[in-house]
Each structure stands twice: as C-alpha cells, then as structure tokens.
Amino acid sequence: MESEAQCKECPDEGKAIVHVDCVTHKYPDGTEGIHNMCFRVFPQEIVALCGPNGAGKSTLIEHINGLMLPDVGRVKVFNKNIDRSNVAEIRKVVGLVFQDADSQLFSPTVIDDVMFGPLNLGFSPAEARKRAERALDIVGMKDIGKIPHYLSGGQKRLVAIAGVIAMEPKILVVDEPTGDLDPSNSRRIEEILRSLRDEHGISVVIALHDMDMAARLADRVCIVKNGSIIAEGPPREILYNEELLTSAGLLPPTVARMFGELDIDVPTDRRPLTIEQLMAFVTAKGTKKKA
C-alpha cells in the first residue's frame, strides 16, 4: 500500500540504491515501529542510524531487506519496490546482520555456518566453500573448524558478518554491531566495515547508539526519534549539534564534547571526529601558547 505523501526531493535522488519512501509500520499490538519514515542509501557510503533503544532503528533496517513490509509507503532497492514476490531476490543484494549473533549461528562448524548462505543461493558446495573462506579471510577468522557455540562474543559477531559477506551483497545492514564487545573487538568490527566500503564497494547501514563509533566511521548520520528521521547530514554537522542530539536522547561523541572545552573556532568541515584529529588541535594550541 502506497502513501499519498512522498519524501522531500533530494538532489541525488537518482543515485539512491535504497529509498524508504514515507513508510509506516504497525506491529500486531497497534504500536508504530516507524512512522512516515524517509531514508536513503547511496553507493559506497557508510550511514549511521543513531537513536536510543526503541527509536525505530531496528524496524527500519528490517524493512530494507524485506524482513518486514510496510503498512503504508514503499521501499525501493535498486529501483525495485520490495513486495512479497521479490523478497528472495532483494536479500541477495541486501545482507542483514542481527544484533544477537547467536540467532545467525546454528551449524556444527564455523565454515558450515558461513557456507549456508551461498548454498541457499544455489551455489555448488565447492563455490560455497570458496566464498565462505574468502569471507572469513576478510573478517580475520581462521578457526573454520571450531564449533560456533564455543566462540567468544567478538568471534561470533565476526562469523555472523562473514556469513552475510559470503553472499556478496551490495548493501550490508548491521544492527548494533559492537554493543556488547570489548574495545579490541569493537575496533576490529569498525575496520571490517570500513574495508567493505573502501575495498569492496559495499554500502553499509549501521543502527547504533554509540556516538563515538558514528563519529569515527560514518559518512552520513541520521538521527532517529519516535520512528522517524528528524535530522541527517555530515558527521561534523550533526554530531556537534548538542541541542539536536539531546532532544533525541543522545549525547554528543566524546571528541565533540572535549573539543567544545578547547574553545577553538574552526570551520565545520575541520571539526575533529577522532582522538587523533583532536590531539592535532591540542598540540597546535599548545605550540601557539608557547610561542
């Protein structure tokens, strides 16, 4: 069912590979997961969907690969409207990694788990294994004979990501990829997502409430509140808007808060997003004081 309303026109509209057009979805109890949601994904970008728990992030991303279908509005992937007749085709190009890695791991060994997707797509066992080994190499997992149940939380997340990469999607959608991981594994996940964009040309959509990760990783940030996107733009613009973030139940990233304490006036496009960039400003400021 299509809504009468339409998303606001975007200058790059024709380049969008995902277009969520004024979508509303109600759960069986009548609760609206998303309302009048407008969202786009463009080629080879990382988009961060930022909002607190219950904002509608997970509901949105499950519409992008057809796990959910809208009650109102439409979702287009590569100019195809998602409906019941083509969800299997859509899932070949849009891979979804769930927040709970255990929900995606069920085979006796790691390699079997990662081969499952390609086999399900109709590839031969030999080709499926080749794809699985390549995907596991990308995420740095070598223990292909291990039982998934005995892996650490970080290792399970890596295997879950590899299982989706093995299907060679053009878009990867990830729900809270580092929510319960230690800093080392979190950074590893970030590196993998960045490499998928830079080295493999995959667009990545991440649902998260970790604003520090959004600052380090995203090309574009969308703020989600009450089932709708209330603002979107470059990280240096959105993540420094404390009033906006506070209204959505979020805090600015650590770097933005620390930079505010330095009282340095710089153009928007020079605002630091990483600790390394922040330290460059601190060093420069200290040098000027000594001089």
Is it the case that residue 9 has pLDDT exceeding 70?
A: no
What's residue 104's pLDDT? 76
DSSP state of 77: E
Instruction: Give CA–CA dist 93/172, Å, rounded.
Output: 8
What's residue 2's pLDDT? 37
Instruction: Give CA–CA dist 130/133, Å, rounded.
Output: 5
Q: Are 60 and 223 in contact (CB under 8 A)?
A: no
Instruction: Give CA–CA dist 259/271, Å, rounded.
Output: 8
Q: Are 34 and 59 in contact (CB under 8 A)?
A: yes
The structural domains of the chain, with segments of one domain joined by +, span 13-252, 253-291
Instruction: Give CA–CA dist 14/75, Å, rounded.
Output: 15
The confidence band for 205, taking pLDDT boundaries of 50, 70 and 90, is very high
Is it the case that residue 252 has pLDDT exceeding 50?
A: yes
Q: Which residues have a Cβ under 8 Å from the Cβ of 50 and sit 6 or more positions away?
A: 57, 208, 209, 211, 214, 221, 222, 223, 224, 248, 250
pTM of the model: 0.89
User: What is the arithmetic mean of pLDDT over 172-179?
Assistant: 90
DSSP state of 219: S
Q: Which pair of tokens denotes residue 164?
A: 């989706």
Q: Which residues have a Cβ under 8 Å from the Cβ of 37 and sit 6 or more positions away?
A: 20, 22, 23, 24, 56, 60, 73, 227, 228, 229
**Phi, psi (rounded to 5 degrees) for 44:** 50, 50
Q: What is the Rg, in whole angstroms, of the alpha carbon atoms belonging to the chain?
A: 20
CATH 3.50.50.60 fits 13-252, yes or no: no
pLDDT digits (tens, 9 = 90+) for 253-273: 999 999 988 888 899 999 999
